């Protein structure tokens, strides 16, 4: 097997790259700063630092929205520059395997394929793999067995709930909300209850530091925002209970969707899930007590993992490296040649 293999997970918030030759996973913000309408000024973490702070001349965009590619050309430029200059890898003639969300159209999947296949990389091969399957393999599970595995991946814009058996998806549900929706709920709640306007980054920090799936946290955080009445900047101390109240409805929506998938799951697979538990991954799964909330709602144990946002990209290279997984990824080369 060629060592010149890259596993890539293009998330809405971050993109993750696993290089097989050095065994490292690199993570960068999936953000691009544009100047003069068609020129990349900065990308990645540097561009994200400009978000909500840039002048009108600099436009900060997210090239992946709701799990699908929204800005093909800029995203292609960013990935090429990142792999060749920042990663300094041998990208010409390399093999790429890319994670794609479930329940997206063939046209949207083909965009992920063409992003690499029709690039300056001149790749040896480009394969796609459905993200829940990559997640499960990255968690160390053998997806080829006739055993039911339930994976809940909570990302920035989407939450994927999937049941896997024999290397395929038995059931899946793609919810068009994730961590960003929680941030928006916090912004809306503070404006309504405290006449305080805060930015998206502040809301994200509050979610990460104070967020919880269950009430009871006692921590507080001082945030700076703009008072609606006076129009002036103010500091305010916000408690974890306020963040819980802001995000509770969205958490309940995810719980409802998990229950609906479980209700549709065939009995024999449901038995497996009860024995092995539900696996939660994705950056959003790091919210405190989220696993306990899901356990409380489903009465099924919930398994979390270290660095859950990296589980899919870890699974990708394992899939192309291990012959037992060779039927899991797929190519869209034939659909392009038609």
pLDDT tens-digit map of 294-335: 999 999 999 999 999 999 999 998 998 899 999 999 998 876
What residue segments make up the domains of the chain, in order of their start?
5-134+312-337, 140-177+252-308, 179-246
Percent of the chain topping pLDDT 70: 98
Lookup: tokens for 205: 């920090």
Tell me the average pLDDT across 161-184.
94
Tell me the average pLDDT across 269-291.
95
CB-based contact 168:146 (threshold 8 Å): no
Confidence band for 23, pLDDT divided at 50, 70 and 90: confident
CA–CA distance, 27 with 15 (Å, rounded to integer): 6
Indicate if the pLDDT at residue 89 is higher than 90.
Answer: no
Q: Name the phi and psi angles at 211, rounded to 5.
A: -65, 150
CA 267-271-277 angle, to 5 degrees, is 130
Confidence band for 44, pLDDT divided at 50, 70 and 90: very high
CA 74 to the chain's CA centroid: 19
The whole-model pTM stands at: 0.93
Residue keyed to tokens 């300056």: 120
Indicate if the pLDDT at residue 1 is higher than 60.
Answer: no
Confidence band for 254, pLDDT divided at 50, 70 and 90: very high
Average pLDDT, the chain: 93
Is 179-246 a CATH 3.40.50.2300 domain? no
Confidence band for 4, pLDDT divided at 50, 70 and 90: confident
Residue keyed to tokens 């097989």: 20
Q: What is the pLDDT of residues 107-162, one digit of tens each?
A: 999 999 999 999 988 899 999 999 999 999 999 999 999 999 999 999 999 999 99
* pLDDT value of residue 156: 92
Burial zone of 119 (CB within 10 Å; 0-12 exposed, 13-18 middle, 19+ buried): middle
CA–CA distance, 17 with 14 (Å, rounded to integer): 10
Q: What is the pLDDT of residues 187-225, one digit of tens each?
A: 999 999 999 999 999 999 999 999 999 999 999 999 999
Tell me the average pLDDT across 175-184.
93
**108: helix, strand or coil:** helix
Is 140-177+252-308 a CATH 3.30.420.40 domain? yes
Lookup: tokens for 128: 């796609």
Indicate if the pLDDT at residue 2 is higher than 70.
Answer: no
Q: Do domains 140-177+252-308 and 179-246 have the same CATH topology?
A: no
Burial zone of 128 (CB within 10 Å; 0-12 exposed, 13-18 middle, 19+ buried): buried
Is 5-134+312-337 a CATH 3.30.420.40 domain? yes
**97: helix, strand or coil:** strand
* pLDDT value of residue 210: 97
* pLDDT value of residue 317: 85
* pLDDT value of residue 336: 55
Indicate if the pLDDT at residue 286 is higher than 80.
Answer: yes
* pLDDT value of residue 285: 93
* Torsion (CA) 240, 30, 280, 273 in degrees, nearest 10: 150
Lookup: tokens for 211: 């967020």
Confidence band for 252, pLDDT divided at 50, 70 and 90: very high
* pLDDT value of residue 333: 81
> Regarding predicted confidence, which is higher, 277 or 3?
277
What are the helix (H) ranges across the chain?
45-50, 72-81, 106-117, 131-138, 179-194, 200-210, 240-264, 267-276, 290-298, 311-321, 333-337
Lookup: tokens for 241: 């209970």
């Amino acid at each position: 097997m060629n060592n010149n293999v890259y596993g890539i997970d293009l998330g809405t918030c971050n993109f993750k790259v696993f290089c097989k030759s050095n065994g490292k996973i690199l993570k960068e913000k999936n953000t691009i700063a544009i100047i003069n309408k068609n020129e990349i000024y900065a990308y990645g973490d540097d561009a994200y630092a400009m978000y909500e702070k840039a002048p009108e001349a600099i436009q900060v965009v997210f090239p992946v929205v709701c799990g699908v590619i929204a800005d093909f050309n800029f995203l292609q430029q960013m990935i090429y520059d990142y792999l060749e200059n920042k990663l300094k890898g041998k990208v010409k003639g390399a093999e790429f395997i890319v994670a794609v969300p479930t329940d997206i159209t063939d046209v949207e999947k083909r965009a992920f394929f063409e992003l690499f296949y029709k690039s300056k990389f001149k790749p040896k091969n480009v394969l796609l793999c459905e993200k829940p399957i990559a997640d499960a393999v990255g968690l160390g599970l053998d997806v080829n067995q006739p055993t039911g595995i339930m994976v809940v991946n909570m990302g920035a814009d989407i939450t994927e709930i999937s049941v896997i058996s024999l290397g395929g998806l038995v059931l899946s549900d793609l919810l068009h909300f994730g961590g960003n929706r929680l941030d928006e709920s916090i912004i809306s709640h503070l404006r309504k209850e405290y006449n305080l306007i805060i930015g998206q980054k502040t809301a994200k920090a509050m979610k990460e530091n104070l967020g919880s799936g269950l009430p009871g946290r006692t921590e507080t955080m001082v945030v700076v925002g703009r008072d609606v009445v006076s129009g002036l900047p103010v500091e305010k101390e916000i408690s974890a209970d306020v963040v819980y109240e802001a995000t509770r409805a969205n958490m309940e929506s995810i719980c409802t969707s998990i229950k609906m998938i479980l209700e549709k799951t065939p009995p024999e697979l449901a038995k497996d899930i009860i024995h092995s538990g539900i696996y939660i991954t994705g950056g959003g799964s790091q919210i405190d007590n989220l696993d306990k909330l899901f356990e409380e709602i489903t009465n099924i144990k919930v398994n979390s993992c270290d660095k859950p946002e990296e589980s899919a990209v870890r699974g990708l290279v394992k899939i192309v490296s291990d012959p037992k997984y060779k039927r899991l990824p797929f190519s869209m080369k034939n659909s392009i040649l038609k």
